[in-house]
Amino acid sequence: MPLATQEARISSERTLDMHFLVRGRFQVAIVRRCLLAVSMVCLALAGGGGCNRPSSEPRDTETPRKKGDGKATVRDGLDDEKRELLRLLGDEHASGSKALLRDVFRGKIGKESDRTRASDQEPGLRARAALFLALEGDDSIKPDVKRLLPRTKDKADVAALEVCLALLGDPSYLKPDHFRLKSFCIGLAALKAIERYQGAHGMEALVKGGIHHPWGRVSDEALLTFERITGKKMSPGEIEDWWEVEHEGQRNRPKPVLKFEGNTDQLRCVAVSPDGKLIASGSNDSSAKVWDAHTGKLLHTLRGHGFTVTHVAFHPSGKQLASGSGDLTIKVWDLNTGKGLVTLKGHRHWILQVAYSPDGKRLASASEDCTVRVWDARSAAVLLTLRGHRAAVSAVSFSPNGRQLATAGRDGTVRLWDAATGKEIRTLEAHDGWGESVAYSPDGKWLATTGVDENTIKLWDVASGKLLRTLKGHTSSVSGAVFSPDGTRVASAGWDKLVKVWDAATGKELVSFKGHPEMINGLAYTPDGKRLATASEDKTIRIWELAKIPDALPTTERK
């Protein structure tokens, strides 16, 4: 790009904010040409104090260049010799280019902008200059970078200096955290460092940070860098799987034995029939689908809802399916014919979850209208309306003996109810934020709950309301947690795309694996406990073989 064009482009921004100018130009430099980087840094230097000048000061204020030793020393405001300076930098091999950037790095020229109010996480002027010099292989700055690093406080500056050292031959400084900053120049420079080592160093940072960078341009470049290094073209989820198998010793981790595709939108939930022969899902495309659990063949697409199908539940007989929707209705379907049998109406807001009683005679629904309704499954009459939550009710579950209901609400509470009378038995102040899911253990003695804001699963004693243990390991919101059919394990899944299986008695994490490239919204065990179904926003259902997971303690050994 001609320098005159560069000037015109910057002028069109109607600002001389040095931080903005340097940020934009350095990001281009890393992926294009070093020449452009130098010219843009110096053009920004020429307007160095722009963001620190009072707003009343004219933008075109010029400050004369100092005379004496002939060096270009740029002060606040626009330098009247800016064109001459840019002309000097017209040749990327000009002897003055690196010298000028070294002076910037050492603080001899240029003025740091005030970044306390910056919306991004780009490094400051000196750290940027160091990044450029490191990209050019300038080893002369290495001792200064090492001396400066311990005294540097700003996270972006620290990351930039660490990447400089990685570029200059010390790969131990590469970290996944470098890719968690909202910084183009740090992210792209770190990728350059990783590529220089050809995968021998820094691949963990690329996999655990680079492909998930908050800026799409950097994450896209990370995928390309991975492909250039390994020769493998993969999605982020596939790259994570590859890393876990090849580098983290998880060759025996669960693998998907079936993958159900064909959904046209994100999946919200999944359920397994009592006999294990069918899988059902609900989707944002307003439909529910029923699949053969052993072959993955689509058996029914159930249409009739006018909005997202948020949850599905099999009748204990396995012959019917209930679906709740954002259209404020619940529908019951005949699974032999795929036809609707009845529509239940009465909620004033979204239905978020539905659950059958163990005997199949009642159907409970949790709604955003802050209530739970219990319906007669045959007549569709409302038997009970449970009121008490101060916000939307996210989840509802019958106890195994059918005598209790447990609900989780967005008011952070979990409530236990008498299923016959609707009387509230106990309130658990369970979560700091939204309560997301609730599930009884098979013997009805324990309760597993999850919350959106805490990234944890909590296990409770039903009789006393006492918190037994908190399971920690997810890095984002946990969508749900369910007990295995024998009660010895708890499986959880969440927005971090991870599935984890825990020993219910000790809280120990038995295995963690990732297979969906998008967040997981639902999970369910098969009746024999050997497989787990997960539904994701990637529009797929995956069935996982759990046979190789280490054994948990038997139920009789619980304390």
* 474-516 pLDDT, tens digit each: 988 999 999 999 999 999 999 988 899 999 999 999 988 876 8
pLDDT at 65: 35
Residue 309 contacts residue 268 (beta carbons within 8 Å): yes
Share of the chain above pLDDT 70, in %: 77
Instruction: Please tell me the pTM assigned to this model.
Output: 0.62
* 151-208 pLDDT, tens digit each: 998 899 999 999 999 999 999 999 999 998 988 889 999 999 999 998 788 999 999 8
Share of the chain above pLDDT 90, in %: 58
Distances (CA, A) of 408 to 284, 413, 431, 457: 22, 6, 10, 13
Residues paired with residue 345 on neighbouring β-strands, in sequence order = 329
Contacts of 327-334 with C-beta under 8 Å, sequence gap 24+, read 327/286, 329/305, 330/354, 330/363, 330/365, 330/375, 331/302, 331/304, 331/305, 332/363, 332/377, 333/288, 333/300, 333/302
Tokens of 427: 């309130």
Tokens of 365: 């629904």
For tokens 């982020």, name the residue: 236
* 212-239 pLDDT, tens digit each: 888 888 999 999 999 999 998 988 877 8
pLDDT at 352: 97
Distances (CA, A) of 317 to 75, 363, 534: 81, 13, 22
Tokens of 504: 């219910």
pLDDT at 119: 54
CATH numbers and ranges of domains, the chain = 3-247 (no CATH), 256-557 (2.130.10.10)
Separation between Cα atoms, residue 336 and residue 317, nearest integer Å: 12
Separation between Cα atoms, residue 315 and residue 361, nearest integer Å: 9
Separation between Cα atoms, residue 356 and residue 323, nearest integer Å: 11
Residue 252 banded pLDDT, cuts 50, 70, 90: low
Residues paired with residue 531 on neighbouring β-strands, in sequence order = 545
* 74-86 pLDDT, tens digit each: 332 223 333 433 4
Average pLDDT (398-405) is 98
Residue 254 has pLDDT above 60, yes or no: yes
Contacts of 149-155 with C-beta under 8 Å, sequence gap 24+, read 152/127, 154/115, 154/123, 154/124, 155/121, 155/181
Q: Please give the distance of CA 244 from its chain centroid, rounded to a whole number.
A: 18
| Buried-state track 99-136, b at ≥16 Cβ within 10 A, e below 16 | ebbbbbbeeebbbbbebeebeebbbbbbbbbbbbbbbb
